Amino acid sequence: MEHADQREAGAVFAELKQRLDSMGMLPDEYFLMAPEWENGREIPGDADVFVTTDYGGSEGVYLDGYIKW
């Protein structure tokens, strides 16, 4: 089965990066996509996106985004 509007994770990541950059909100570093989502892997049609806040020891605050289905 293939969902008609599935998007590649890399394309979604690139769009998010461009939008954050255009608003002046792109982090200076650590804006990374997990390797398992590279090489044309599509986001499942029934996936949900979650964002969590993690506090680093001396590095500040991290926002981690996850795709789960």
Tens digits of residue pLDDT in 9-46: 999 999 999 999 999 988 888 889 999 999 999 998 88
Spatial CA neighbour of 6 closest among 37, 45, 41, 38: 45
Query: Residue 54: beta bridge partners?
Result: 62
Whether 1 shows a pLDDT value over 80: the answer reads: no
Name the pTM for this structure.
0.75
Please report the pLDDT score of residue 8 as a whole number.
Answer: 92
Which element (helix H / strand E) includes 54?
A: strand 48-56
β 60-68/48-56 pair status: antiparallel
Better-scored residue on pLDDT, 32 or 5: 32
